[in-house]
A and B are shown apart, each in its own frame.
Chain A
Amino acid sequence: MRLSRADLFGVVAGAALIAVLPFLISDYHQALFAQVAVFFIAILGLNILVGYSGQISIGHGAFMAIGGYTTAILSRDHHTNLVLTMVFAFAICFVFGLVVGLPALRLSGVYLALATFALAVSVPQIALKFDKFLGGSNGVQSAKTVSHTWLYGASWTTAAILFVLAWLILRGRLGRAFRAVRDSEVAATSSGIALPIYKTLAFGISAAFAGVAGSLFVMATNGFAQPNEFEVILSLQILVGAAVAGLGSLWGILAGAAFVGLLPTISKDVPVVGSAHGQDVVFGLLVVLVMLLMPQGFAGVLAALKRLRTRPDTS
């Protein structure tokens, strides 16, 4: 994610738009756009793992669950400030990410995908097993709930902070190491990059981002964390968002986040297919279309447009 002057202008413009939006839209829509920020953060995290270190995960919903439960439990039991719980979620999920990343070193491709899928299915069940502490099927209710406007402000501020963090990580040595690992593990090793360290680190960072997204996700759900909120579909939504986003573009990630965050709500109102299944059908159709027409995601489209614009003038 290298930023030229034009990109910087774009970032500032985007930030300005996001800052002004809440004054133009209703409370209810602010909550909706806050959901986009949640997916933005999660997709950002997954992007670091998939796009920059070449590993796959369809289990990031599990890290969101851990982050979300961290927030709910700290708030319920210790009345911790909600913003502070996000810091805890970041740290705890970073550690969990490392823990998952270590055995993941032995796996790649489909096998890694399956292992992370198993994670997505099993982690929420832990809350059902240790129900005295983790609330079981009755969930965990945070001590404090937030207004839509607070949620919008907190989630987009966090998204901005984490975006800057991601940019700093990826433009430096760490990012170069990740890209080397992604492009060729053999070449990377022969250049002196210790694969286990960087691959595990990528998992840790990616999980930490997802954990913060999970914190905000629970705050958006009236502060209520419950296993049914973190079903496999959540991990798939993040993956779809990352695929739609493509690689290496801030605008791509925004587009991917808006796609998974807003489309289900919008497609619910499509009259053609009926209200019960309309959102699933429309969403599914659009995912297929996007993958067929824009296999490199939104970032790919932007890159192609850039190439068109900077084509040498023959006249």
Chain B
Amino acid sequence: MRNKGRMLGALAAAVAVAGFAVSAAAGAHQTDPGITKTSIKIGGTFPLTGVASAYKTIPLAEKAYFDYVNAHGGVNGRKIDFSILDDAYNPAQTVPLVQQLVEQDKVFAILGSLGTAPGLATWGYVNSHKVPQVFLASGDSYWGFCAHQACAGGTKPYTIGWQPDYPAESRMYGKYIAKNTPNAKIGIIYQNDAFGKNYINGLKQGLGSKASSAICDQEGFAATDTTVTQQILTLKGKGCDTLFIVATPSQAITSLVTATKVGWSPTTYLSNVSANRIFMLLAAKNGANIDGVISSSYLLSPTVNASSSGVKFGAAILAQYQSALSASYASGDSNVIYGLGVAWTFVRALQNAGKNPTRATLEKALHSMNYANNPFVYTGIKIQTSSKDNFPIEQEIMIKWAGGASGDWQTTGSLQASGH
């Protein structure tokens, strides 16, 4: 009888120890907020309303991709729960929303938040809370450089961008002009802020020794300006034969239309944030002569590359999970394929973060990316990062418009690397 008692006691003790061990092991995998056995919670801030609301299709495309992934088993059995919050491009709204995501919703990571100023308003907070701030939708080079060097009070190792940065893009244009049309007289029309100045600096770097002689004039406009006639007339009057438009869509379209209306036909370069086919068609509809306009791309074109498997894949996903985007995607809307590309990259990184991801393993995966097969980026582009390289995409291809008011972008030349 006593032996049985002792045996029972020993068995009970063994079960208890085993139970503690199991729960401790399970607990160790759930130490990070936002992740359970069946779900991963992420969120991002986007301008769903306000002046920048043209970009609201980006988070919708990202969500469509996550819905597709969730319908096919999720990531290692976990469904992605993506919160899309509206900050109307106002940093004073972004901050409380990000605080809500981190402190109330307890997300695992912040994904895709759009805008340089909203990013700068929140990156200090996010980094001090050690929350991954992944694939910011902005081409500012801060997101690449500041992982390892101190910016605005410290390094920001938890922040990373995705797209090629603006200075790299305009360096490419500068090099192209220096090589192909070294005697060009470049007139620059630019948004009078950091975005515009970033581009001008890159152009000068690309032009190298020719910078001072090649730049004929530069005319700025305020982000809220609705007309740029004065600036275009000045550039034309100074005898510039090449026009570099550094503007977001509305002023880009206005610049193209105005140049044609004043009887000026310079060789035109356009920053790729405004090179969406949808905007080009709008410019042409309003009278702009857009043949020969040069820009750049790092994404597949849903129209020119319609027969590629990546574009078809995207079309299928949208048809099933976000059919509201299908029509503009079919007309070449690059914002949509951008969103799909970002979402694909995040899912890949999450898969590489292991069977039981933590914020630390996700960060490790994000800083050791080597993906050559993102179906939505331009063929041949490798998404690469390392402990020294925090710029995921550094390759772009030049594109030139052909076919007038119903035409499209055609690629020209080969993929160029920006080299940081």
A residues sitting closer than 8 Å to B (CB atoms) are 26-28, 31-32, 35, 125, 128-129, 131, 136-139, 141, 143, 145, 148, 217, 220-224, 226, 228-229, 231, 234, 265, 268, 275-277, 279-280
**B96-125 with Cβ < 8 A to chain A:** 96, 99-100, 103-104, 116-117, 120-122, 124-125
CB distance from A213 to the nearest CB of B (A): 12
Docked Cα-Cα span, A129 to B194, in Å, equals 11
Known contacts: A125-B222, A136-B193. The answer to whether A280 contacts B124 by CB under 8 A is no
> Once bound together, how far apart are the Cα atoms of A265 and B89, in whole Å?
16
Give the Cβ gap from B320 to chain A, nearest Cβ, in Å: 21
A39 smallest CB distance to B (angstroms): 12
Contact at B91–A128, with CB atoms within 8 Å? no
Interface size class of B (residues with CB under 8 A): 20 to 34
Are the CB atoms of A224 and B121 closer together than 8 Å? yes
Which residues of A lie under 8 Å from residue B194 when comparing CB positions?
Answer: 131, 136-138
- 1/0 contact string of B174-200 vs chain A (CB within 8 Å): 000000000000000000111100000
Knowing A26-B103, A276-B86, the reply to whether A222 touches B125 (Cβ < 8 A) is: yes
Contacting A141 at CB < 8 Å: which of B95, B99, B100, B152? B152
Instruction: Verify A138–B116 contact, CB threshold 8 A.
Output: yes
| B124-A222 in contact (CB<8A) | yes
Q: Check B153 for interface membership: any CB of A closer than 8 A.
A: yes
Smallest beta-carbon distance B386→chain A, Å: 27
> Which secondary structure dominates where chain B touches chain A?
helix
Chain B residues with CB under 8 A of A125: 222, 224
- Listed residue (A143, A148, A276) with the most chain B CB atoms within 10 angstroms of its CB: A276
- Whether A222 pairs with B222 at a CB distance below 8 angstroms is no
Interface mask (B117-158 → A, CB under 8 Å = 1, otherwise 0): 100111011001000000000000000000000001100000
B-side residues, CB < 8 A to A, are: 48-49, 56, 84-86, 89-92, 95-96, 99-100, 103-104, 116-117, 120-122, 124-125, 128, 152-153, 192-195, 222-224
Asked if B92 contacts A221 (CB within 8 A), the reply is yes
Q: Determine whether the beta carbon of A141 is less than 8 Å from that of B96.
A: no
Closest to A121 in B: B224
Q: Is the CB of A224 within 8 A of B91?
A: yes
User: A228 and B104: CB pair below 8 A?
Assistant: no
Whether the Cβ atoms of B153 and A141 lie closer than 8 Å is yes
Q: Is the CB of A141 within 8 A of B120?
A: yes
Q: Verify B95–A220 contact, CB threshold 8 A.
A: yes
B104 touches which of A28, A234, A280 (Cβ 8 Å) = A28
Asked whether, in the complex, the Cβ of B86 is within 8 Å of the Cβ of A275, the reply is yes
B86 contacts across to A, CB distance below 8 A:
268, 275-276, 279
